[in-house]
A and B are shown apart, each in its own frame.
Chain A
Amino acid sequence: MLLRHTPKEIPTERKALTINPAKTCQPIGAMYAALGIHGCLPHSHGSQGCCAYHRSALTRHYKEPISAATSSFTEGASVFGGQANLLQAINNIFTVYEPDVIAVHTTCLSETIGDDLKQIRLKAQNEGKIPEGKYVIGAPTPSYVGSHVTGFSNMVKSMTEFAETTGKKNGKVNIIPGWVEPADMEEIKRMAKLTGVKTILFPDTSGVLNAPLTGEYKMFPDGGTTVAELKSAGDSVGTLALGEWCSADAARELDKKNKVPCNVLDMPFGLKATDRFVDALRKIAGVTVSDELALERGQLVDLISDMHQYFYHKKVALVGDPDQLISMTEFLVSIDMCPVHIITGTPGKKFEKRIREITKDMPFEVNVKAKGDMFLLHQWMKNDPVDLLIGNSYCKYMARDEDVPLVRWGFPILDRQGHQYFPTVGYKGGLRLLEKILEALLDRKDRDDPEEKFELVL
Chain B
Amino acid sequence: MTKKKMVQWDPADVKAELLSKYPPKVARKRAKQIMINEALENETPEITANVRTTPGIITMRGCTYAGCKGVIMGPTRDIVNLVHGPIGCSFYAWLTRRNQTDAGPDGDNFINYCMSTDMQDSDIIFGGEKKLAQAIQEAYDLFHPKSIAVFATCPVGLIGDDIHTVAKNMKEKFGDCNVYAFSCEGYKGVSQSAGHHIANNQVFRHIVGENDEEKPGKFKINLLGEYNIGGDGFEIDRIFNKCGITNIATFSGNSTYDQFASAHTADLNAVMCHRSINYVADMLETKYGIPWIKVNFIGAEATAKSLRKIAEYFGDKELIDTVEAVIAEEMPAVDEVVSDVRIRTDGKTAMMFVGGSRAHHYKELFNEMGMKTISAGYEFGHRDDYEGRQVIPNLKVDADSRNIEELVIEADETRYRPRKTEKEMKALEKAGLQFKHYDGLAPDMDNDTLIIDDLNQYEAEKLVELMKPDIFCAGIKEKYSIQKLGVPMKQLHSYDSGGPYAGFKGAINFYNEIDRLVNSKVWSYMKAPWQKNPQLSAAYIWE
**Which listed residue, B132, B138, B139, B526, touches A213 by the CB 8 Å rule?**
B526
Docked pose: A393 CA to B113 CA in angstroms = 14
Contact call A59/B480, Cβ cutoff below 8 A:
yes
**Which listed residue, B62, B82, B112, touches A397 by the CB 8 Å rule?**
B112
Contact call B55/A86, Cβ cutoff below 8 A:
yes
B81 to chain A, nearest CB (A): 11
User: In the assembled complex, which residues on chain B have CB atoms less than 8 Å from the CB atom of A91?
Assistant: 23, 56
**Which listed residue, A18, A53, A74, touches B117 by the CB 8 Å rule?**
A18
Contact call A21/B23, Cβ cutoff below 8 A:
no
Q: Given A52-B66, A108-B86, A214-B484, is A72 in contact with B54 using a C-beta cutoff of 8 Å?
A: yes
Contact call A108/B153, Cβ cutoff below 8 A:
yes
Contact call B88/A28, Cβ cutoff below 8 A:
yes
Q: Is A290's beta carbon under 8 Å from chain B?
A: no
Contact call A24/B23, Cβ cutoff below 8 A:
no
User: In the assembled complex, which residues on chain B have CB atoms less than 8 Å from the CB atom of A54?
Assistant: 88, 92
Contact call B112/A144, Cβ cutoff below 8 A:
no
Q: Is A16's beta carbon under 8 Å from chain B?
A: yes
User: In the assembled complex, which residues on chain A have CB atoms less than 8 Å from the CB atom of B65?
Assistant: 49
Contact call A4/B109, Cβ cutoff below 8 A:
yes
Q: Mark B118-153, 1 if CB is under 8 A from A, else 0.
A: 111101100000011011011100110000000001
Contact call A97/B458, Cβ cutoff below 8 A:
yes
Minimum CB distance partner of B109 in chain A: A4
Q: Name B33-79 residues within 8 Å CB distance of A.
A: 52-66
Q: Mark B514-525, 1 if CB is under 8 A from A, else 0.
A: 000000001001
Minimum CB distance partner of A212 in chain B: B484
Quick check: which of B154-162, B221-229, B533-541 contacts chain A, the rest being far away?
A: B154-162
Give the one of B63, B139, B157, B185 with max A CB within 10 A: B63
**Which listed residue, A24, A88, A113, A217, touches B481 by the CB 8 Å rule?**
A217
A99 to chain B, nearest CB (A): 11
Q: Mark A121-148, 1 if CB is under 8 A from B, else 0.
A: 0000000000000000000001111010
**Which listed residue, A14, A25, A47, A97, touches B63 by the CB 8 Å rule?**
A47
Q: Is B326's beta carbon under 8 Å from chain A?
A: no
A370 to chain B, nearest CB (A): 13
A455 to chain B, nearest CB (A): 35
**Which listed residue, B21, B57, B85, B96, touches A69 by the CB 8 Å rule?**
B57
Q: Given A67-B457, A112-B124, A216-B485, is A47 in contact with B154 using a C-beta cutoff of 8 Å?
A: yes
Contact call B66/A112, Cβ cutoff below 8 A:
no
**Which listed residue, B90, B158, B159, B527, touches A21 by the CB 8 Å rule?**
B90
Contact call A96/B476, Cβ cutoff below 8 A:
no
Minimum CB distance partner of B60 in chain A: A52
Q: Is A292's beta carbon under 8 Å from chain B?
A: no
Q: Name A281-313 residues within 8 Å CB distance of B.
A: none
Minimum CB distance partner of A45 in chain B: B55
Q: Name B436-472 residues within 8 Å CB distance of A.
A: 457-458, 461
Give the number of chain A interface residues (Cβ < 8 Å): 82
Contact call A56/B484, Cβ cutoff below 8 A:
no
Q: Mark A81-121, 1 if CB is under 8 A from B, else 0.
A: 00001101111110111000000000111001100000000
**Which listed residue, A3, A27, A69, A108, touches B155 by the CB 8 Å rule?**
A108
Q: How many A-B residue pairs have C-beta atoms within 8 angstroms? Tell me.
A: 255
Docked pose: A43 CA to B135 CA in angstroms = 33
A406 to chain B, nearest CB (A): 15
Q: Is B395's beta carbon under 8 Å from chain A?
A: no
Minimum CB distance partner of A14 in chain B: B138
Give the one of A5, A23, A70, A75 with max B CB within 10 A: A75
User: In the assembled complex, which residues on chain B have CB atoms less than 8 Å from the CB atom of A219?
Assistant: 457, 481
Q: Is B108's beta carbon under 8 Å from chain A?
A: yes
Contact call A144/B124, Cβ cutoff below 8 A:
yes
Q: Given A52-B61, A69-B56, is A142 in contact with B88 using a C-beta cutoff of 8 Å?
A: no
Q: Mark A198-232, 1 if CB is under 8 A from B, else 0.
A: 00000000000001011111110000000000000
Q: Given A5-B110, A24-B92, is A53 in contact with B62 using a C-beta cutoff of 8 Å?
A: yes
User: In the assembled complex, which residues on chain B have CB atoms less than 8 Å from the CB atom of A14?
Assistant: 138
Docked pose: A215 CA to B123 CA in angstroms = 49
Contact call B58/A68, Cβ cutoff below 8 A:
yes
Docked pose: A63 CA to B483 CA in angstroms = 11
Q: Is A166's beta carbon under 8 Å from chain B?
A: no
Q: Given A71-B55, A345-B87, is A48 in contact with B135 using a C-beta cutoff of 8 Å?
A: no
B356 to chain A, nearest CB (A): 15
User: In the assembled complex, which residues on chain A have CB atoms less than 8 Å from the CB atom of B119?
Assistant: 108, 144
User: In the assembled complex, which residues on chain A have CB atoms less than 8 Å from the CB atom of B526?
Assistant: 213-215
Docked pose: A394 CA to B119 CA in angstroms = 22
A376 to chain B, nearest CB (A): 12
Contact call A48/B63, Cβ cutoff below 8 A:
yes
Docked pose: A78 CA to B482 CA in angstroms = 33
User: In the assembled complex, which residues on chain A have CB atoms less than 8 Å from the CB atom of B154?
Assistant: 46-47, 78, 107-109, 112
Quick check: which of B3-11, B186-194, B201-209, B316-324 contacts chain A, the rest being far away?
A: B186-194
Q: Is A269's beta carbon under 8 Å from chain B?
A: no
Docked pose: A46 CA to B187 CA in angstroms = 8
**Which listed residue, A4, A18, A48, A96, touches B458 by the CB 8 Å rule?**
A96
User: In the assembled complex, which residues on chain B have CB atoms less than 8 Å from the CB atom of A456?
Assistant: none
Q: Is A77's beta carbon under 8 Å from chain B?
A: yes
B230 to chain A, nearest CB (A): 15
Q: Given A21-B91, A89-B55, is A95 in contact with B23 using a C-beta cutoff of 8 Å?
A: yes
B323 to chain A, nearest CB (A): 37
A53 to chain B, nearest CB (A): 4
Q: Given A56-B92, A70-B55, A76-B400, is A147 in contact with B63 using a C-beta cutoff of 8 Å?
A: no
Q: Is A73's beta carbon under 8 Å from chain B?
A: yes
Contact call A59/B87, Cβ cutoff below 8 A:
no
Docked pose: A293 CA to B120 CA in angstroms = 45
User: In the assembled complex, which residues on chain B have CB atoms less than 8 Å from the CB atom of A453?
Assistant: none
Q: Name A213-259 residues within 8 Å CB distance of B.
A: 213-219
**Which listed residue, A16, A72, A90, A217, touches B138 by the CB 8 Å rule?**
A16
Q: Is A149's beta carbon under 8 Å from chain B?
A: no
Q: Given A19-B114, A46-B154, A49-B62, is A142 in contact with B121 using a C-beta cutoff of 8 Å?
A: yes
**Which listed residue, B64, B87, B112, touches A2 by the CB 8 Å rule?**
B112
User: In the assembled complex, which residues on chain A have CB atoms less than 8 Å from the CB atom of B483?
Assistant: 213
Docked pose: A56 CA to B109 CA in angstroms = 25
User: In the assembled complex, which residues on chain A have CB atoms less than 8 Å from the CB atom of B142?
Assistant: 5, 7, 17
User: In the assembled complex, which residues on chain B have CB atoms less than 8 Å from the CB atom of A53?
Assistant: 62, 66, 88-89, 92-93
**Which listed residue, A56, A97, A145, touches B477 by the CB 8 Å rule?**
A56
User: In the assembled complex, which residues on chain B have CB atoms less than 8 Å from the CB atom of A214?
Assistant: 484, 526-527
Q: Name B467-516 residues within 8 Å CB distance of A.
A: 475-477, 479-486
Contact call B159/A112, Cβ cutoff below 8 A:
yes
Docked pose: A96 CA to B461 CA in angstroms = 12
Q: Is B399's beta carbon under 8 Å from chain A?
A: yes
Docked pose: A145 CA to B23 CA in angstroms = 37
B71 to chain A, nearest CB (A): 12
A95 to chain B, nearest CB (A): 5
Q: Is A57's beta carbon under 8 Å from chain B?
A: yes
Q: Name A354-398 residues within 8 Å CB distance of B.
A: 375, 394, 397
Q: Is B333's beta carbon under 8 Å from chain A?
A: no
Contact call A217/B461, Cβ cutoff below 8 A:
yes
Q: Given A21-B114, A47-B154, A113-B158, is A74 in contact with B190 using a C-beta cutoff of 8 Å?
A: yes
Contact call B86/A19, Cβ cutoff below 8 A:
no
A399 to chain B, nearest CB (A): 13
22 contacts between A and B (CB under 8 A): A5-B109, A15-B134, A28-B88, A46-B154, A48-B59, A52-B62, A52-B66, A67-B58, A70-B53, A72-B53, A74-B187, A76-B399, A92-B54, A96-B57, A144-B86, A144-B120, A144-B124, A144-B155, A147-B87, A214-B526, A215-B484, A345-B87
Known: A65-B481, A69-B57. 17 other contacts (CB 8 A): A2-B112, A15-B134, A16-B135, A20-B94, A48-B61, A48-B62, A49-B66, A52-B477, A55-B477, A56-B96, A72-B54, A85-B55, A97-B58, A109-B186, A112-B124, A143-B87, A216-B485
Can you list the 9 inter-chain pairs with the closest CB atoms, starting with the nearest?
Answer: A49-B63, A89-B56, A25-B88, A53-B92, A16-B134, A89-B55, A92-B56, A143-B86, A65-B481
